[in-house]
Structure 1
Amino acid sequence: MNNKEIFKNIIKRKIKAKIVFQNKKITAFHDISPKSKLHILIVPNIFIKNLNYINKKNLNILSYMLYKSIKIAKQERIHKSGYRIIINCNKNGGQKIPYLHLHLLGGEKLKNF
């Protein structure tokens, strides 16, 4: 199974993951290698390789992903203490899986970079 298939199979629930939210547009689940106390990945249910593949047809998915990340931060009770949202793009940008995804990090004081 290649890397992008991992997210596709989580979305289809063929791979077990701790899903915190799912609807027709996105799926949000806990990262299996968390970088903070709370680390949730938010992925579109349609395949988009990375930010470079955002276009007029799929532009709305980014705002929806951000909107839902705020709702999830409130659900997880990290909205008052603070959180970080990250989108990596390509290898040098830190993207390990070639499938657009947003990282929601929080639950503790995060290091500055």
Structure 2
Amino acid sequence: MKYSDEQRIAKIQVTTEKLLTYISRENITPERIFHEEPIQWAVTTPLYNIGEHVANLTAEFKQEHNTIPWVKIAGLRHRLVHHYEDTNWTVICAIIYDVLPKFLEELKQL
């Protein structure tokens, strides 16, 4: 199914909200992310989904909203999927705790 940019942004927003809610509700700390494989899977799967939707946004949409680092977001998905064994969990934690809340606010403005 082909989604519109608006549908993709809505899906990205919902996925981001669900991930942040899960992190909060389950008291997921960076320490748990570093050491618990089920938590690693639980936090990276939504990041894959976000990256996949971002990769499929139109070039025009990404250019129109060029303050968001679309290439890096899609690149994260590629890195996680193709180089999962080399995942830098410090970077993932920074994304989850520092980047995603700000990203969610930017999405709400679109």
The normalised TM-score by structure 2 is 0.33
- Compare relative contact order (CA 8 Å, sep 6+) and give the higher one, 1 or 2: 2
Q: Name the structure where helix makes up a greater proportion of residues.
A: 2
The normalised TM-score by structure 1 is 0.32
